[in-house]
Structure 1
Amino acid sequence: MIYATGDTHGNFQRFDAKYFPEQAGMTKDDYMIICGDFGGVWDNSNKEKQSLDWLEELPFTTLFVSGNHENFDLMREYPVEEWNGGKIQRIRPHVIHLMRGQIFDLQGYSFFTMGGARSHDIEDGILNPSAPDFEEQYWALRRMGGRFRVNHCSWWKQELPCISEYEEAKRNLDRVDYKVDYIVTHCAPNNIVDKLGEGGYIYDPLTDFLENVREKASFHYWLFGHYHNNKIIDDRFVLLWEQMVQVGSSVRWFQWLPIGTSEHTRKSPP
């Protein structure tokens, strides 16, 4: 079994058996994919380590692509290895980062992964904590309710892929003639960004790249997060936040699973 969900931001409550009873029939050979903003590698605190240990103890394997809210300084401390056809980093033995530009074979399905996104809540800038006037700037923006981040504390330039990651993605897609079963990203291609934001979101190099993938690729479903909503767009683009979907025995079948309530009942996607 393979499931997918949206941004977790370090909060993994949705995977409690109370909200996700299907895990009773899962093993470590089954997967839950988080579509970016995993947030489980953020401050290296004892609480965070306990959360990661809790994830490791779940019956399934947790997979995730990077979002824009990850601590990339800490992430790069984990070694890179090959797994199921692509490059990964093991945060725990069964908590695995699916790196950018890779194609993985999961239970006979091919998954192209391309994490990352541009933060869209930084209109007031990125502050440098070593700047002489950092404290003054920080508290002035806080008092104003500003939308800003602090470099290497709450924002990293690695939120967007580097040139080598784009190049590797292109090589891997060329290798399979741009034919995969699923695409997993954090943000969406330009065409879908337009439909989500109605002009409220701007393009960037990654959404441009993903638009090229959208135009060229043959795929069944595209799973993504980032925009804090749950909906299906143009039949094949599945935006996830708190909800979970299951990739069933049929490649094109999804089941929508509501979470976050005491009652676990099924419903159709919006």
Structure 2
Amino acid sequence: MHSGEAAAVRNQFKIATYVLICASVAAIGALVAVDLTSAALVAATLFGWSEVDGLCGTSHVGTLSPLRVLSKRMWVKSVSAYTAGGLATAACVGMSVGAVGQLAQFGHPYISVLMYALVSVVSLGLAARELNLIQFPLPQIHRQTHKAWASEFGVAKAAGMWGCHIGLAFATVVQHGGFYVVVLLAAVLGPSKGGLLFATYWFGRTLPMWFAGTLPIDRCTAPELNRLLLENRAVYRHAAAAGLLCIPIIALLLGVEVAVTTD
């Protein structure tokens, strides 16, 4: 892959990320006056996209996207399996987090107001981290999926298995802080909305893979594509930060909504 093609792929990913940031912030601005849960879902999509520079994010984009050159049908089948597999596990995990929050009474009016305040504070702290104003490690399990699955089960089945694994969210590398805000919100909002939040976060994680398949990567190897994605790391931090800076507004309004309805 010559330098001109590499620059085109890198720049298109960069532009797409900034377009998504602008569109998401605009959508959140419009939705806060209509439906706060939908506004949170838009932020969750942005958080998911930002994880493309994580170990599994770049690895899976680099492994599956070049399949389009060999067989468009195989590429669609593999990425669809990846998306569907992760969607199932992400929704289940989100519902479980919501159920735990429900048992802990996080949805109780008085407790939920405090939880929304906590969400706001955590979001601002994580946004500061994404903007390199402060530094601290994120709690996580440093685990990756098994590449050997592709040779054992075939690429399409392996993609579905990779999706199921990464969709569990807690069982993989987390590069940015938006995921933890999704966890806190799911715990307060309950099982149904928690499942929806996690599923939307996962949908955001799969978007870069679908987008990469539309780029001029005909002569791009997996390691090259991984390298090009990682060259845009600052951009993905901006995506996470944009979502995190919107969350305190959403959480504040959710808290006000609870307080007003309780009175």
TM-score, normalising length from structure 1?
0.23
| Greater share of helix | 2
| Greater share of strand | 1
| Greater length-normalized contact order (CA 8 Å, ≥ 6 residues apart) | 2
TM-score, normalising length from structure 2?
0.23
